[in-house]
Amino acid sequence: MSFKTPPPTPQYAKLTFPTAHVLLVTLTRPGDLNCINTTGHHELHTIWEWMDDEPRVRVGVLTGEGRAFCAGADLKVNEVGAKQQPLLPPTGFGGLSRRSGKKPVVCAVNGLCLGGGCEMIVNVDLVVACEQAFFGFPEVRRGVVAIAGALPRVIRTIGRQRAMEMVLTGRRVSAAEAEKWGMVNEVVATPEAVVTRALDIAGQIAANSPDAVIISREGLKLGWEGLGADEGSRYLIETWLKRLNEGDNIKEGLGAFVEKRKPMWVDTTITVNYENMGHFHNH
């Protein structure tokens, strides 16, 4: 696959492109349970920014090597040069916990998902987990607080009482329970199957109009940010409908439907300007 700009070359993650238009990011510190250090956070931020700017990539998938998805922050490593940059990028833990972004990210949770790992999955677009996976916010047991963005978000996903139980007790939640609560989309049998299933879902998304996916995701995020249905719909129409109608993909999609053929989407040219979106986004 040829790209407009070369993909990043991170030290603590591996980038592959297993199917058309899909980026698979694998955390590669299994001996440290894929805990993320300062450099790793900024690497992941760069990866997701590159994905958003790269026309050939439409969906991202994140997983981990070994028995952990991500066990949180690695605070033990005294990295050379780390003091010259903030601990977290503006997009938060792993570049995801406060990311608004342009294109969807699917998490394939292959094992334990704790602390910052859980903060990431609360703010991504879809989550697939294996049966062996479990989730938790153990911060209170260590005298610290989950401050990377999850607390105001998780309560919207699973409700006040469940969020209070999970965060204030610090207990681990099984994959089956997380699915029941709405934190996980789907549970599959094995860690190997979880990546396969996540890539399958990512492929379904990538097969759709890239313009329509980006704009539909923006509309959903308006509700996530707390707008009412009328205000959010009006903002979506006033801000995005013109961009959709001016693009080639709406014409291709409607033409393919009439002609009863598979649409041939073009790489999207739609951009997201966060500076003009006021309080609606995190950037």
CA 135 to chain CA centroid, Å, is: 16
The one catalytic residue among 116, 136, 232, 247: 116
Q: Check if the beta carbon of residue 69 is closer than 8 Å to that of residue 111.
A: yes
Residues 227, 101, 71, 224, Cα dihedral to 10° = 10
CB neighbour list of residue 142: distance below 8 Å, 6 or more residues apart: none
CB neighbour list of residue 137: distance below 8 Å, 6 or more residues apart: 114, 115, 118, 146, 150, 154, 166, 167, 170
Q: How far apart are CA 53 and CA 5, in angstroms?
A: 9
Catalytic-residue membership of 218: no
Output the CA angle 94-176-189, nearest 5 degrees.
85
Catalytic-residue membership of 119: yes
Catalytic-residue membership of 229: no
Catalytic-residue membership of 73: yes
The one catalytic residue among 139, 148, 202, 206: 139
Within 10 Å of residue 275's Cβ, how many Cβ atoms?
7
Within 10 Å of residue 67's Cβ, how many Cβ atoms?
15
Residues taking part in catalysis: 73, 116, 119, 139
